[in-house]
Structure 1
Amino acid sequence: MRTNLKAVVVGAVLGVTGVAFAQGTPAAPASPKAAAATSKAAPAKGPVGPKTATGAEAASGKTEVTWWGHAAFVVKTPGGAVLAFDPWLTNPKAPQGATWPEAVDAILVSHGHFDHVGETKALAQKTNAKVYGSFELISLLGLPEAQSMGGNVGGTFQVKDATIHFVEAVHSSSYQADPKSPSHYAGAPMGFVVEIANGPTLYHSGDTGPFQSMALIAEQFKPTVALLPIGGHFTMGPNEAALAARLLKVKTVVPMHYGTFPALTGTPDALTAALKKAKGTTKVLPLEPGKATPL
């Protein structure tokens, strides 16, 4: 059943997009060399291009977030920490011609599917960043021990002025080093809450549906900005994201994981409408890929 379902999903999307698209199965070889050969966005060692989306210094006293499309973000804190979330930097919505971040302190990977692991290894090799995620996933990535920061839900880590908390997500997680290798169990999926000194508290949910414990995340950490998927199909759609926003009690939602492929049909406008219908006060902040936005 599982094999047949995967074949149906892949076959349907192949007919629309001409690329493989199934959770846990890379749409292109995952090696840095192959990524460079199959994408215009970024070779493995960091492309040469316009100085955009690089993670240059944040404006004084501000936290800056740059969306790289899909679920990939680079966040810069007032204290100089640079955090990369789910760095699929060669996704179809990534800013074309942008150079990869020159310096990254921490890479946070929510789960093992190809569209979230992305270029984690290449970016870690380029910047010497430490990589945070589930113990099982980090063990599968083959990183040097000094860069491997595997943990589990409930774990807390300090990166300069950013305190990172691992929280739960409702999804699945498997990892393939390349399309020809078997999938491996990659631990439980996770989200991340990042408390920034003199800045906002961010919540990157990873791939998830809404779940009641989002209210516990609100009570424990009081996030102010949530990065939430809205595309549907594999994650929340706009209506579910509106419910999540209410559970989290956040002031702002930054939509992610939408529009990358035809199957991800949710839109920021639909999220705004869902929040309005529910009489919510949360504001929607759509980001333009490659543009650093102060929070």
Structure 2
Amino acid sequence: MQIKLTFHGQSCFQLDDGTNSLLIDPFFTDNPVAKISASAVECTHIAITHGHFDHFADCEAIAKANNATVFAAYEICEYLGEQGHDICEPGNPGGRIEASFGAISFTQAFHSSSYKGRYMGMPCGLMIEFGGAMLYHAGDTSLFSDMELLGQMYQPDIAMFPIGDRFTMGPEMASAAAEMIGAGTSIPMHYNTWPPIEVDVARFAPRDMDVMVMEPGDSVDLTPEDSAE
């Protein structure tokens, strides 16, 4: 099965296998680097790492427009239900939820989570089983030692790490995180969207690992061979 991975800027990615389309941390409307509008997005599922606006602001509109199932912390799902979208799969760190594309496991992340002044539950990372591939989306987080355990348990093929500093890890800490997770390919995210998180992406340089720098709007095809490596 061929899988297309698209980067929409900041921490927003999309996985598509022709039947299922999973959108992660949708952020288009106020995203200065996004190449498409929220109204143009088509998806079957949405996954949210936490409630900050640059990960969640477009979730409600896109979910309603696409009748999409949302995977998120309990409090985020509760909020969406109050807004009239109750097609949600709530979870928390340690939990795994099966889906038509595979499964999502919620992992630990060290950050905060709120939206318009409202507490939105614990921030999470995501281990995503999609069409035979295992992908790790770290969400917004600092470096933490249990990343090594996550790498051993889930053995992801591809991993995405925030590198923009200030609100998350910077490039050097993210490089250490990538080495601990041990994915075959690591992708930087959450950087160069605004001046406070501008960094030189070349500083993200985990040792003896492949780094794939994606520009907003870029897509790559993943194959079963990629997943097995």
With structure 2 as the length reference, what TM-score do the two structures score?
0.90
1:77–1:162 contact (8 Å) kept in structure 2 = no
Partner of 2:102: 162
Partner of 1:41: none
Aligned residues: 220
Partner of 2:225: none
Partner of 2:211: 284
Once residues 98 and 166 of structure 1 are traced to their aligned partners in structure 2, the CA distance between those partners, rounded to angstroms, is: 25
Once residues 28 and 83 of structure 2 are traced to their aligned partners in structure 1, the CA distance between those partners, rounded to angstroms, is: 19
Post-superposition Cα deviations, 1:19-67, rounded to whole Å, max 9, x if no partner, equal xxxxxxxxxxxxxxxxxxxxxxxxxxxxxxxxxxxxxxxxxx2221111
2:64–2:85 contact (8 Å) kept in structure 1 = no
Return the letter of the residue paired with 1:129: A
Once residues 236 and 245 of structure 1 are traced to their aligned partners in structure 2, the CA distance between those partners, rounded to angstroms, is: 11
State how 1:82-231 maps to structure 2 within 5 Å: 82-90=21-29, 91-96=31-36, 100-102=40-42, 104-141=43-80, 142-144=82-84, 146-176=86-116, 183-198=117-132, 200-231=133-164
Question: 2:187 is paired with a residue of what secondary structure?
Answer: strand
1:230–1:267 contact (8 Å) kept in structure 2 = no
Question: 1:228 is paired with a residue of what secondary structure?
Answer: strand
Once residues 97 and 112 of structure 1 are traced to their aligned partners in structure 2, the CA distance between those partners, rounded to angstroms, is: 20
Once residues 111 and 163 of structure 1 are traced to their aligned partners in structure 2, the CA distance between those partners, rounded to angstroms, is: 18
Hey, which bits of structure 1, 4+ residues long, moved more than 2 A? 96-102, 141-146, 265-268
Shift of 1:291: 2.5
Which one has the bigger strand percentage?
Answer: 2
Q: Structure 1 residues 125 and 98 mapped into 2: Cα distance closer, same or farther (>3 Å)?
A: closer
Partner of 2:221: 294
Once residues 136 and 178 of structure 2 are traced to their aligned partners in structure 1, the CA distance between those partners, rounded to angstroms, is: 11
Question: 2:128 is paired with a residue of what secondary structure?
Answer: strand
Once residues 140 and 161 of structure 1 are traced to their aligned partners in structure 2, the CA distance between those partners, rounded to angstroms, is: 25
Once residues 67 and 76 of structure 1 are traced to their aligned partners in structure 2, the CA distance between those partners, rounded to angstroms, is: 12
Which has the higher relative contact order, 1 or 2, with Cα contacts under 8 A spaced 6 or more apart? 2
Q: What percent identity do the matched residue pairs reach? A: 35
RMSD between aligned residues:
1.7
2:3–2:131 contact (8 Å) kept in structure 1 = no
Shift of 1:239: 0.2
Question: 1:258 is paired with a residue of what secondary structure?
Answer: coil
Once residues 197 and 291 of structure 1 are traced to their aligned partners in structure 2, the CA distance between those partners, rounded to angstroms, is: 20
Once residues 118 and 71 of structure 1 are traced to their aligned partners in structure 2, the CA distance between those partners, rounded to angstroms, is: 12
With structure 1 as the length reference, what TM-score do the two structures score?
0.71
Shift of 1:132: 1.1
Q: Which runs of 5+ in 1 are unaligned?
A: 1-60, 177-182
Once residues 125 and 52 of structure 2 are traced to their aligned partners in structure 1, the CA distance between those partners, rounded to angstroms, is: 14
Shift of 1:76: 1.1
Once residues 145 and 12 of structure 2 are traced to their aligned partners in structure 1, the CA distance between those partners, rounded to angstroms, is: 25
1:81–1:159 contact (8 Å) kept in structure 2 = no
